[in-house]
Structure 1
Amino acid sequence: MREEFVERLIELFGRSGASELQFNDGDSSLQLTRRAAGQGVAAALPAEPAHPRAQPDSAPARPAGGQPHALVAGLSGMFYRASAPHESPYAAVGDVVEEGQVLGLIEAMKLLNEVEADRAGRIAGFCVGNGDAVEAGMPLVMIEALEGSA
């Protein structure tokens, strides 16, 4: 499955009232399940390579395989990938991130709330676009584990 197609499915699922979505396309499959508020969303995606990017000299990190983890919105609001329109995004697809690293912002009631990585890994994709409205529990970022981490 193409990354844009998967991101669109996740976006549509997040906006829908459905509690589960399953999609099969040959060798690839996708399953999304919505849980009660505060429990998060589970997502299963085929293990596809991330876009190649240069790695730091110190630690060449590679995807560990398995399924990416969906980082979900903790509250409803507007999602932004950068602190201002003219600034660079906090993170991009293929970037290796640490737990607690800021990946974006959610503006709610005129307050900016940081969206932090809940685990270390590599950004596999963004489920929502810059400036999109999000709801609590909606998947925002897919993070794949790196070898040597779980």
Structure 2
Amino acid sequence: MLKIQEIRELIKLIDQSSIDEFKYEQNGEKITMRKQVKGAGNTTETIVREAVQAPQAAPAPALQSEPAKAEAPSQPKEEAKGEKESREGLHTITSPMVGTFYEAPSPDSAPYVSSGDKVKADSVVCIVEAMKLMNEIEAEVKGEIVEVLVENGQLVEYGQELFLVKPE
């Protein structure tokens, strides 16, 4: 059976190649990966893992994984330009990983920060959960939180903007 790291490496290799479909079978387990290009550069990878039913063996459940599809912004050019100008001079705190955004240490706790709160460079502003690990995200700069850009419990991508901070 392939390990998760080996599967990840296969996904990267297939994504970088011109191969559209890859099948692998070993010891009764079968892995199929398909790559479909939709639009300009959006890639959807589908991994299907299933056990080939052998006599006196129960079939293993199938696992399908599809990354979220990015949607193109539907803003008029003038609005986007105005938004860019309004962000001038602001520091953006981005997600260092893919995971789930949490604004508080527990569901019944108050959020770490809200718009208008003052933060220090080492102030924890949120948690991003990745693979059951809670990663505290720090403000990185001293200043005031201008805007929280994501909702509690929302899935975030690597590099996605989380907060806007007005540096002091």
SS state at 1:24 partner: helix
Matched, 1:96 2:124: no
| Identity in percent | 32
Q: 125, 129, 142: which one pairs with 2:164? A: 142
1:18-38 deviation digits (Å, cap 9, x = unpaired): 6xx88424xx712xxxxxxxx
Partner of 1:130: 152
Q: Whole-Å Cα distance in 2 between the matches of residues 45 and 132 of structure 1?
A: 26
Q: For residue 100 of structure 1, report the CA deviation from its aligned partner.
A: 1.2
State the alpha-carbon separation in 2 of the partners of residues 135 and 22 from structure 1.
24
Residues 140, 22 of structure 1: CA spacing in aligned structure 2 closer, same or farther, 3 A cutoff? farther
RMSD: 2.3
State TM-score, norm by structure 1.
0.58
Change in CA separation of 1:133 and 1:45 when aligned onto 2, cut-off 3 Å: farther
The superposition leaves residues 95-138 of structure 1 with CA deviations (integer Å, 9 ceiling, x where unpaired) of 01000100000000000000101111100001101100001100
Equivalent residue number for residue 29 of structure 1: 82
Task: Say if 1:22 and 1:29, in contact at 8 Å, map to a contact too.
Answer: no
Cα drift, residue 17 of structure 1: 6.6
| Structure 1: gaps of 5 or more residues | 1-14, 31-43, 48-65
The structure number with the bigger radius of gyration is: 2
Runs of 4+ in structure 1 deviating by more than 3 angstroms, as ranges, are: 15-18
Which of structures 1 and 2 has the larger relative contact order (alpha carbons within 8 angstroms, sep 6+)?
1
Higher helix fraction: Structure 1 or Structure 2? 2
1:71: which partner in 2? 93
TM-score normalized by the length of structure 2: 0.52
Q: How many residues align?
A: 98
Give CA-to-partner distance per residue, 1:2-29, whole Å, 9 cap, x none: xxxxxxxxxxxxx7376xx88424xx71
* Partner SS for 2:151: coil
* AA matched with 1:142: L
**Residues 134 and 100 of structure 1: CA distance in aligned 2, closer, same or farther (over 3 Å):** same
